[in-house]
Amino acid sequence: MSCSRALITLFAFGVCATSAYAVPVEKRDFFPGNPAELPCSIRVVFESSATGPDYAVWNEIRTYLSTTKDVQRAEAFGWRMEGEFILCLQVEEPEALPKVFADIKTLIPAIPTGTSGPTMATLGAPRRR
C-alpha cells in the first residue's frame, strides 16, 4: 500500500500508516453543536482544560486505527476553541462494536495525564451498510 493511500491526517498532525487496514481519519469542519448529536458508532471526545487535548491518547488511537479492520470510517470534527475535537468512528458490523469500544476504552486513561484535557469515549449505534 502506498504511503499516500494510507495517510492519516488530523489538523496539523499526520503520519503515514503502512498497515493494510489503515483507516484514514478525515478532517471535517468545526462542529458547533453537542457532540452527542453526531451519528457515530463510537464517539471519542478530546477535551481541553486550557491545556489542549491529550495528543498522546490520540496517537495511540490513531495507531489502533491503522491495525484494525473493524472500523470502516473515521472522521474528526473540530470543537470549541482550545483544539478540542471529536473523533467519530463508524463500525458497520454490530458484533464488532463491543470489541472496538473496549479496545478504545483501554487506550484512554481514567484520569487525564500530564497537562492535557480529558478524553472520553461513548457508544452509539452501529451503522448498517
Q: What is the mean pLDDT of residues 2-8?
A: 31
Q: Confirm whether 129 is domain-assigned.
A: no
Question: For 57-73, what is each residue's pLDDT tens digit?
Answer: 999 999 999 999 999 99
The per-residue b/e assignment along 109-129, b for 16 or more CB within 10 angstroms, e otherwise, is eeebeeebbbbebebbebbee
Q: Tell me which residue range forms the domain holding 115.
A: 7-123
Number of structural domains found in the chain: 1
pLDDT grade for 126, boundaries at 50, 70 and 90 = low
Prediction pTM value: 0.75
The 10s digit of each residue's pLDDT in 93-121 is: 999 999 999 999 999 998 877 778 899 99
Q: Is there a domain that residue 128 lies in?
A: no
| Mean confidence (pLDDT) of the chain | 77
Whether 96 contacts 70, CB under 8 Å: yes
Can you tell me whether residue 42 is helix, strand or coil?
strand
DSSP state of 97: H
Of 50, 65, 49, 77, which is closest to residue 104 (Cα–Cα)?
65
Q: Is residue 1 domain-resident?
A: no
Q: Is residue 2 part of a domain?
A: no
Domain membership flag for residue 109:
yes
Q: For residue range 78-98, what is the model confidence (pLDDT) as tens digits?
A: 877 778 889 999 999 999 999
Q: Higher confidence at residue 75 or residue 4?
A: 75
Confidence of residue 15 (pLDDT cuts 50, 70, 90): very low
